[in-house]
């Protein structure tokens, strides 16, 4: 799972110029990240932001350790995701990219056709499908 941050994990839609910039965490999405992590699924971040500020906020919120092999810098989402796939040495067909913007999802899919893209509103559905298939068990 590769997650965007803005509008998905937190409400702030701009670039975090300072780690104390006002933002609001989306607890429902954080809970889903925790569930995926608990189930042994890999979570990563792809965001255009300042890495130091993202780290400070995620550590402050106690969720930094839920994300690994993150791509955080000023590049296209597709380039960020390609970097993560290269680091992880994983085929895009085994990865979901989650974002709240349909345009971003289309652009990434065009650049990385094998990547699975998913609107943030559909993440709960993915978890339910995995449970029904028997791929995960959160008991």
Tell me, what's the pLDDT at 1? 93
CATH code for the domain in which residue 114 is found: 3.40.50.1000
Place of tokens 């999802």: 105
What's the pLDDT band for 130 if we cut at 50, 70, 90? confident
Total number of domains constituting the chain: 1
The answer to the question of residue 33 being in a domain is yes
Give backbone dihedrals phi and psi of 118, rounded to 5 degrees, phi first.
-145, 130
The dihedral built from the CA positions of residue 40, 58, 23 and 51, taken in this order, carries a sign that is negative
Residue 47 carries which DSSP code? E
Q: What is the mean pLDDT of residues 97-101?
A: 93
Dist. CA 26–CA 98, nearest whole Å: 14
Instruction: Please state the rounded mean pLDDT for residues 52-66.
Output: 89
For residue 47, is it within any domain?
yes
- At 19, is the pLDDT very low, low, confident or very high (cuts 50, 70, 90)? low
**Range(s) of the domain holding residue 90:** 2-133
pLDDT at 138 over 70: no
Query: What's the pLDDT score for residue 5?
Result: 85
What percent of the chain stands above pLDDT 70? 87
pLDDT at 41 over 70: yes
SS3 117: strand
Q: Is residue 97 part of a domain?
A: yes
């Amino acid at each position: 799972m590769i997650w965007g941050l803005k509008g998905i994990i937190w409400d702030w839609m701009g670039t975090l110029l300072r780690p104390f910039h006002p933002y609001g965490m989306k607890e429902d999405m954080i809970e889903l990240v925790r569930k995926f992590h608990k189930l042994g699924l890999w979570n990563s971040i792809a965001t255009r932001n300042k890495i130091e500020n993202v780290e400070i906020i995620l550590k402050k919120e106690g969720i930094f350790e839920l994300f690994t092999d993150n791509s955080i810098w000023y590049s296209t989402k597709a380039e960020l995701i390609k970097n993560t796939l290269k680091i992880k040495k994983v085929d895009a067909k085994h990865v979901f990219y989650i974002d709240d913007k349909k345009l971003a999802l289309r652009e990434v899919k065009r650049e990385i056709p094998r990547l699975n893209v998913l609107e943030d509103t559909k993440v709960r559905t993915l978890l339910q499908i995995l449970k029904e298939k028997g791929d995960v068990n959160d008991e």
